[in-house]
Amino acid sequence: MIALLSRDLALAVRAGGGFGLGLAFFLIVVVLVPFGVGPDEALHARIASGILWLGALLACLLSLDRIFALDFEDGSLDLLATAPLPTEALVSVKAAAHWLVTGLPLVAAAPVLAILLNLPAMGYGALVLSLLLGTPALSVIGTFGAALTVGIKRGGLLMSLLVLPLYVPTLIFGAEAARRGAEGLDWTTPMLMLAGITCGVIAVLPFASAAVLRVNLR
């Protein structure tokens, strides 16, 4: 599993599909928001947590179609599916690689980009913690969507339509936890709900993704 994870990380960095693209999109979203809503700094502070969470969600969405596509195109996915490694472990490694390449850099960049939206200083901890808890769920759910559409030509749009509704609970509780932190309120409840969603997704979806992947590779 470690060798497979190292391979996926190397391929992702070499292909340039996750790390730079996700961060660039995240930056563009944050920079464009003030142009769209006007120069009101108080308004920026109120919507900062939601905008940052939405930007991170969409940035994760950009690279989902690459999770299985490259391996499917060169035939290595068939070999991996027939290897002694369980398909559930294969799916989990793919999700972990996506999070390390895409999700983790977004978590690290969020406090820096929050400065552009005038996020109150008291909200930085809640923002980072919510993204740290929520972005793994985005990667695991995205891996499920990628498994559903593997082998479908131009399946990126279809995958987005399938995955976005599943992202909504994570977005709601993540943004709410960050908002409460920025306003100095108690953010324990939405943070616990977010952690529960992530744990549930990690526990269940790898098995669903593996089952779908086996069907699509027959």
User: Residues 201-218: pLDDT tens digits?
Assistant: 999 999 999 898 888 777
Measure the CA–CA gap between 186 and 116, rounded to whole angstroms.
24
Helix H or strand E encompassing 40: none
DSSP single-letter state for residue 129: H
Structure tokens at 21: 């693209």
Contacts of 168 (CB under 8 A, 6+ apart): none
User: Residues 80-89: pLDDT tens digits?
Assistant: 777 777 888 8
Residue 69 or residue 54, greater confidence: 54
DSSP single-letter state for residue 121: G
Measure the CA–CA gap between 178 and 62, rounded to whole angstroms.
23
Asked if 89 contacts 7 with a C-beta cutoff of 8 angstroms, the reply is: no
Measure the CA–CA gap between 109 and 73, rounded to whole angstroms.
32
Asked whether residue 11 carries a pLDDT value surpassing 90, the answer given is no
Global confidence as pTM: 0.90
Domain boundaries, the chain: 2-216
Q: To the nearest whole percent, how much of the chain has pLDDT over 90?
A: 46
Please report which confidence band the pLDDT of residue 19 belongs to, taking 50, 70 and 90 as the band edges.
low
Q: What is the pLDDT of residue 15?
A: 60
Q: Is 38 left (phi over 0), alpha (psi -120 to 50) or beta?
A: left
User: Residues 111-167: pLDDT tens digits?
Assistant: 999 998 989 999 999 999 999 999 999 999 999 998 888 877 766 778 888 899 999
